[in-house]
């Protein structure tokens, strides 16, 4: 049962099962396999990075929060929130799980029906997609592609006879498209014997085993047909398994096969996933690899700036403000990890400029000038749309403009993107008197209201200010909203006319509390937990400082834990938002059960269905990990009223909760979560920042996520509506202009209809270009809409399949017993045959010195000559060469006098796994390989 895994150097014990089921299946899932591999690899890379930086690396606990702290450096990072980390990991895990629902009937995605060539092709394209997108820093697309491709890679070990053939290490050829997939059982060749009573661990025919041929199970949920003599996948939903030869060979969970084969399949799947991650790491480099895994301390800062002529008075101020924001964050713990600038004019907008260099973005902002466009409304929504598709999830976006938007047809698209990315958008509107009158909009009295609605829906603010007041306005909003620690305690929208009292709970973990109120004519009285009050007329009082600018009031509060009260009296509409900074935060998604051979839950990536029950998956994160937090109540609250629906909370363990709600209220809602911090024995409350809505419409779009340059694709989608039929209006938008046409009107028959979007990426589109495609559909009576947001990528067909070859030319080794006195040296020639050429060469570990020079050798072949020099105390080296499309070639050398323990290629020994008891169902021990 304990299988020594040579290439990995660790041993796995599985007291409970880890199986190949999707999210929420029978306890253990594909996601656990992915999670195991991802955690080990992150730990390993973080440890090496820390060593290279001369830092200590110690993980004190078992949580992701601990791992993040240790990776970022405990002293350097200060308090960090694990939300971005967990969100990134979810992007990987979710797509991994989704393969079972989106591609349930695709043989290739699961290596069913001996589809080995097709399955391996999917892996080749998937890996190329990950690599191309990592190189362009399109991390979200890369994560999603990684999740998907890993599923197929992992399924190979459960669904094929690889472990029955006696293998206990990964099949390297799956990740080497230049190698043949090997002998596969022929068409018509019998592969299985009949199984009278399960388990039947020896179903594979001896001839297949002797000839070392690959085979896999056939599966159908609708028909019992399978080719004569072939193995079935097996299990209750597989109709072919009742057909002779009866039984099944899948090792998805123990039961059908022996426990040994099941655990062997799990172990090899984890090892194979580690090899894949190592391959991607070699291409990405350690910094980008960790960013791909979501290890980041800070968020990103994004500006969308109007550059039309009418802004000429304001743009200097907007520029000054933007630059001062950047300067004020520099060197602080909130220093953004990257910056995005999107200028917009009329009719042009963009391009989106993304950089990690503060000086570059400052220069770009300085170079903006206001021209053209006149006083006409401009392309504000196009600019905002581009910002939303360029920025990662949960970014803060600041829009500076002085006029109404011309491109309001994009309103639904922008709203969809805001909800789907959960980014917060704040508008600074200077000169608000101008051009509002031009808009003829029956639903809103002013165009400002449109900006206000959008800001509210995203959890941001819409602020009307004069040019003179702009710096003040931005100061008071930006200083508190760009940290990753920002949490919302309370937010609501009211129409005014009465006096209303709001209460909110401040727990001891919250720092820097702020109240934001936008409105025109109101007064308030704030009361702290000890009963001390301060009114809106007192700018500097016992409870804090009140500042106002334009229509925005901010109270910076002196912290006191406990229940606060806010009584607001207003004749006009207003918004209220209470925020603070804390590492206690939560994430949420609506989920839906699905059936099929591998049932589970999928995340609903659009608005959930109206007028019916709903389920939410809620995850909490805190400084010491989720095990110190207990969620006691989750409810959906109307944003603009007092209506609320409480959910039933089921604890799934490790900070995950399944929340069931009988009926989701209509209109804008926020999610309210209450819980207990067991460490401080104090109650806490949090709200979602983004407002949620439900819809009677659903849009389903299934897509191959990878497109080829110059090749048109037709992407089908289905719109469904509950209730009456009629004609829906559809829009499809992307951020690259690749959409050629789409079905813009759909007549629903029996509540549903199909349409399609035609996309054509130009032939010269660089590999690794990502596309965000947004499809929105509006109900026949225009009262309701929903969306689908798809992230696709363009990847050129990979023709260079071979990695660079590394040839060790000479080694000079004078190492003596006292290693610190001597050095050793290695020289190697690296070539890439007829391929795309050697793009980079690096060495690992990083404590030697590597020099490389390129020259043209014999026969006009390009040669990269490498010289590596290191202390004899560092006796091992792995030279890593990457070619133009990300094929990775390595060579290993050791001058160690001891028997070598390191593998020749692939993963170095994983001692990293020791301290990670993370996924508590799994116990494992670290052991040196022999």
Ligand X SMILES: *[C@@H]1O[C@H](CO)[C@@H](O)[C@H](O)[C@H]1NC(C)=O
Q: Among residues 369 and 632, whose Cβ is nearest to ligand X?
A: 632
- Among 242-250, 829-837, 838-846, 874-882, which window interacts with ligand X (CB under 6 A)? 829-837
Binding span for ligand X by CB under 6 A among 190-198, 527-535, 717-725, 827-835: 827-835
347/712 with CB nearer ligand X: 712
Smallest distance, Å, CB 805 to ligand X? Answer: 9
Residue by residue, DSSP assigns 358-378 as: HHHHHHHHHT----S-TTS-B
Measured from the CB atom, the residue of 155 and 164 that comes closer to ligand X is 155
The span from the CA of 834 to the CA of 20, in Å, is 39
Asked if 863 interacts with ligand X (CB under 6 A), we say yes
Q: Tell the smallest beta-carbon distance from residue 833 to ligand X (Å).
A: 4
Pairing of strands 396-401, 486-494: unpaired
Distances (CA, A) of 504 to 46, 487, 507, 601, 685: 39, 13, 10, 33, 8
Stretch that binds ligand X, among 237-245, 453-461, 851-859, 899-907 (CB under 6 A): 851-859
d(CA 842, CA 746): 55
Q: Which parts of 636-695 interact with ligand X (CB under 6 A)?
A: 678
Closest contact distance (angstroms) between CB of 539 and ligand X is 41
Which stretch of DSSP H or E encloses residue 890?
A: strand 888-894
Binding piece for ligand X, criterion CB under 6 A, among 389-397, 768-776, 858-866, 913-921: 858-866
State in angstroms the smallest separation of the CB of 837 from ligand X.
6
624 backbone φψ class: left, alpha, beta (φ>0; ψ -120 to 50)? alpha
| Residue among 384, 425, 381 nearest 404 (CA) | 381
**Residue 530 or 853 with smaller CB distance to ligand X:** 853
CA distance 241 to 217: 9
408 contacts ligand X (rule: CB under 6 A): no
- Measured from the CB atom, the residue of 435 and 864 that comes closer to ligand X is 864
829 is an interface residue for ligand X by CB under 6 A: yes
- CB-nearer residue toward ligand X: 328 or 656: 656
Regarding 347 and contact with ligand X (CB under 6 A), the answer is no
Tokens of 211: 């000839």
Nearest to 477 by CA among 519, 406, 428, 429: 428
DSSP 8-state class, residue 763: T
Q: Which whole-number Å values give the CA distances from 510 to 557, 561, 760, in the listed order?
A: 11, 8, 49
Query: What is the secondary structure of 218-263 as a DSSP string?
Result: B--SS-----TTPPB--STT-GGGGSSSPS----SSBTTB-HHHHH
Report helix, strand or coil for 699: strand
Distance from chain centroid for Cα 457? 22
Task: Determine contact, residues 62/70, Cβ cutoff 8 Å.
Answer: no
Site for ligand X in 181-220 (CB under 6 A): none
Specify the residue, 206 or 860, whose C-beta has the smaller distance to ligand X. 860
- 834 is a site residue for ligand X (CB under 6 A): yes
Q: Is 154 helix (H, G, I), strand (E, B) or coil?
A: helix
With contacts defined by CB under 6 A, name the span among 285-293, 319-327, 352-360, 849-857 that binds ligand X.
Answer: 849-857
Q: How many CB atoms lie within 10 A of CB 206?
A: 9
To the nearest whole angstrom, how small is the minimum distance from the Cβ of residue 110 to ligand X?
14
Least CB distance from residue 628 to ligand X, whole Å? 10
Of 542 and 653, the one with the shorter C-beta distance to ligand X is 653
Q: Which two tokens stand for residue 792?
A: 């696709």
Select 247 or 803, whichever has its Cβ closest to ligand X. Answer: 803
Among 337, 865, 871, 874, binds ligand X (CB under 6 A): 865
Residue placing its CB nearer to ligand X in the complex, 666 or 674: 674
Stretch that binds ligand X, among 158-166, 275-283, 859-867, 911-919 (CB under 6 A): 859-867
According to the binding rule CB under 6 A, does residue 713 interact with ligand X?
yes
Q: Which is nearer to ligand X, 668 or 706 (CB)?
A: 706
Nearest distance, CB of residue 718 and ligand X, angstroms: 13
CB-nearer residue toward ligand X: 444 or 807: 807
- For ligand X, give the closer residue by CB, 865 or 871: 865
- Number of chain residues interacting with ligand X (CB under 6 A): 20
Q: Residue 107: phi, psi to the nearest 5?
A: -65, -40
Interaction between residue 403 and ligand X (CB under 6 A): no
Query: Which residues from 114-173 bind ligand X, rule CB under 6 A?
Result: none
**One of 525, 603, 604, 867 touching ligand X (CB under 6 A):** 867
Closest approach of Cβ 867 to ligand X, in Å?
Answer: 5
Burial of 117 (0-12, 13-18, 19+ CB in 10 A): exposed
According to DSSP, residue 582 is labeled -
| Token pair listed for 702 | 């299934």
Q: Determine contact, residues 299/395, Cβ cutoff 8 Å.
A: yes
Alpha carbons within 13 A on the beta-carbon side of 796: 15
Contact segment (CB under 6 A) with ligand X among 471-479, 582-590, 640-648, 853-861 equals: 853-861
DSSP string, 375-431: TS-B-HHHHHHHHHHHS-TT-EEEEEESS-BS-GGGHHHHHHHHHHHT-EEEEEEES
Q: Which of 704, 814, 816, 900 binds ligand X (CB under 6 A)?
A: 704
Q: Alpha-carbon distance 385 to 739, whole Å?
A: 15
Query: How far apart are CB 862 and ligand X at their closest, in Å?
Result: 4
Q: Give least dist CB 681 to ligand X, A.
A: 10
Q: Which is nearer to ligand X, 656 or 911 (CB)?
A: 656
Among 655, 672, 667, 780, which Cα is nearest to 729's? 780
The reply to whether 851 sits near ligand X by the rule CB under 6 A is: yes
Q: How far is CA 159 from CA 152, 162, 231, in A?
A: 10, 9, 10
Contact residue for ligand X among 369, 535, 632, 724 (CB under 6 A): 632
Tokens found for residue 124: 């080749």
Contact window for ligand X (CB under 6 A) among 656-664, 734-742, 760-768, 861-869: 861-869
With CB atoms as reference, the residue minimizing the distance to ligand X is 857
Q: Binding of ligand X at residue 805 (CB under 6 A)?
A: no
Which element (helix H / strand E) includes 646?
Answer: strand 644-646
Nearer of residues 661 and 715 to ligand X, judged by Cβ: 715
Please identify, using beta-carbon distances, which residue of 242 and 648 lies nearer to ligand X.
648
Pick the binder of ligand X from 599, 833, 846, 909 (CB under 6 A).
833
Nearer to ligand X among residue 602 and residue 826 (C-beta): 826
Give all strands of the β-sheet with 805-813 in edge-to-edge order. Answer: 805-813, 823-831, 862-871, 849-856
Question: Is residue 862 a contact residue for ligand X (CB under 6 A)?
Answer: yes
Answer for which of 408, 630, 752, 840 binds ligand X (CB under 6 A) is 630
Cβ of residue 127: shortest distance to ligand X, in angstroms?
15
Sheet of 726-734, strands arranged across: 706-707, 785-794, 769-778, 726-734, 745-748
CB of 301 to ligand X, least distance (A): 35
Only segment of 12-20, 382-390, 767-775, 852-860 that touches ligand X (CB under 6 A): 852-860
How many other C-beta atoms can be found within 10 angstroms of the C-beta atom of residue 508? Answer: 17
Q: Which of 60, 532, 809, 873 binds ligand X (CB under 6 A)?
A: 809
**61 in contact with ligand X (CB under 6 A):** no
Give, in order, the Cα–Cα distances in Å from 515 to each of 231, 476, 553: 65, 11, 8
* Cα separation, 367 vs 358, whole angstroms: 14
Gyration radius from the chain CA atoms: 29
Q: Contact positions toward ligand X, by CB under 6 A?
A: 630, 632, 678, 704, 713, 715, 807, 809, 829, 833-834, 837, 851, 855, 857, 860, 862-863, 865, 867
């Amino acid at each position: 049962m304990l299988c020594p895994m040579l290439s990995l150097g660790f041993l796995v014990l599985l007291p409970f099962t880890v199986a190949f089921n999707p999210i929420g299946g029978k306890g253990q899932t594909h996601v656990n396999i992915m999670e195991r591999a991802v955690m080990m690899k992150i730990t390993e890379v973080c440890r090496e990075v820390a060593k290279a930086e001369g830092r200590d690396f110690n993980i004190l606990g078992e949580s992701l929060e601990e791992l993040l702290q240790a990776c970022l450096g405990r002293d350097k990072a200060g308090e960090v929130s694990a939300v971005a980390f967990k969100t990134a990991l979810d992007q990987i895990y979710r797509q991994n799980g989704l393969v079972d629902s989106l591609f349930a009937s695709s043989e290739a995605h699961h290596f069913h029906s001996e589809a080995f060539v097709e399955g391996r092709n999917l892996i080749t394209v998937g890996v190329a997609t990950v690599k191309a997108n990592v190189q362009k820093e399109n991390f979200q697309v890369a994560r999603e592609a990684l999740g998907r491709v890993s599923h197929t890679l992992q399924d190979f070990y459960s669904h094929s006879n690889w472990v029955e053939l006696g293998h206990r290490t990964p099949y390297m050829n799956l990740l080497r498209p230049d190698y043949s997939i090997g002998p596969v059982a022929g068409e018509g060749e019998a592969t299985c014997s009949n199984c009278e009573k399960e388990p039947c661990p020896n179903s594979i025919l001896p001839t297949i085993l002797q000839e070392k041929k690959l085979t896999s199970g056939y599966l159908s949920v609708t028909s019992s047909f399978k080719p004569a003599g072939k193995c079935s996948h097996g299990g209750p939903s597989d109709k072919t398994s009742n057909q002779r030869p009866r039984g099944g060979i899948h090792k998805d969970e123990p039961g059908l096969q022996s426990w040994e084969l099941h655990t062997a399949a799990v172990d090899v799947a984890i090892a194979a996933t580690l090899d894949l991650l190592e391959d991607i790491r070699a291409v990405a480099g350690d910094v980008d690899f960790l960013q791909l895994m979501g290890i980041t301390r800070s968020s990103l800062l994004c500006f969308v700036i109007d550059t039309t002529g009418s802004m000429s008075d304001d743009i200097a101020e907007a520029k000054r403000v933007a630059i001062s924001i950047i300067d004020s964050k520099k060197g602080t713990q909130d220093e953004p990890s990257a910056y995005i600038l999107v200028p917009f004019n009329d009719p042009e907008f963009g391009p989106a400029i993304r950089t990690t260099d503060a000086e570059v973005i400052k220069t770009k902002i300085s170079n903006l000038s206001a021209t053209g466009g006149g006083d006409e409304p401009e392309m504000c929504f196009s600019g905002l749309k581009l910002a939303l598709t360029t920025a990662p999830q949960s970014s803060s976006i600041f829009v500076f403009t002085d006029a109404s938007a011309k491109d309001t047809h994009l309103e639904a698209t922008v709203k969809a993107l805001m909800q789907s990315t959960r980014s917060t958008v704040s508008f600074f509107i200077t000169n608000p008197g101008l051009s509002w009158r031009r808009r003829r909009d029956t639903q809103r009295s002013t165009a400002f209201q449109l900006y206000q609605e959008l800001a509210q829906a995203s959890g941001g603010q819409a602020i009307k200010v004069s040019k003179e007041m702009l710096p003040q306005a931005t100061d008071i909003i930006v200083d508190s909203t760009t940290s990753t620690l920002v949490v919302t305690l309370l937010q609501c929208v009211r129409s005014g006319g009465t006096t209303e009292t709001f209460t909110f709970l401040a727990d001891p973990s919250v720092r820097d509390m702020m109240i934001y109120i936008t409105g025109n004519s109101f007064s308030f009285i704030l009361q702290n937990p000890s009963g001390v009050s301060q009114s809106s007329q007192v700018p500097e009082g016992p409870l804090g400082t009140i500042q106002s600018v334009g229509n925005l009031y901010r109270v910076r509060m002196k912290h006191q834990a406990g229940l606060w009260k806010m009584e607001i009296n207003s004749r006009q509409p207003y918004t209220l938002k209470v925020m603070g900074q804390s590492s206690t935060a939560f994430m949420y998604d609506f989920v839906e059960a699905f059936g099929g051979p591998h049932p589970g839950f999928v995340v609903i990536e659009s608005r959930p269905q109206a007028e019916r029950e709903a389920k939410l998956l809620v995850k909490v994160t805190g400084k010491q990990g989720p095990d110190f937090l207990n969620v006691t109540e989750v409810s959906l609250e109307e944003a603009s009223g007092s209506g609320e629906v409480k959910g039933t909370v089921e604890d799934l363990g490790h900070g995950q909760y399944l929340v069931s709600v009988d009926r989701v209220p209509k209109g804008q809602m926020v999610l309210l979560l209450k819980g207990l911090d067991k460490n401080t024995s104090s109650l806490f409350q949090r709200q979602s920042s983004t407002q949620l809505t439900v819809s009677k419409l659903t849009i389903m779009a299934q897509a191959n996520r990878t497109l080829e340059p110059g090749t048109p694709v037709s992407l089908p989608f289905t719109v469904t509506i509950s209730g009456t039929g009629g004609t829906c209006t559809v829009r499809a938008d992307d951020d690259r202009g690749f959409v050629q046409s789409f079905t813009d009107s759909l007549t629903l028959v029996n509540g549903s209809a199909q349409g399609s979007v035609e996309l054509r990426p130009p032939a010269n589109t660089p590999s690794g270009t990502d596309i965000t495609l947004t499809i929105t559909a509006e109900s026949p009576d225009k009262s309701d809409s929903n969306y689908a947001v798809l992230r696709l990528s363009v990847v050129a067909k990979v023709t260079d399949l071979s990695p660079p070859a590394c040839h060790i030319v000479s080694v000079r080794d004078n190492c003596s017993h006292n290693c610190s006195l001597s050095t050793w040296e290695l020289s190697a020639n690296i070539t890439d045959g007829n391929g795309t050429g050697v793009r980079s060469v690096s060495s690992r570990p990083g404590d030697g010195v590597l020099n490389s020079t390129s020259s043209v050798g014999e026969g006009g072949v390009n040669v990269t000559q490498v010289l590596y020099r290191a202390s004899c105390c560092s006796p091992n080296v792995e030279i890593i060469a990457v070619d133009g499309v990300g094929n990775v070639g390595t060579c290993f050398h050791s001058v160690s006098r001891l028997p070598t323990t390191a593998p020749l290629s692939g993963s170095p020994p994983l001692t990293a796994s020791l301290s990670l008891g993370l996924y508590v169902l799994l116990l494992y021990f670290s052991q040196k390989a022999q």
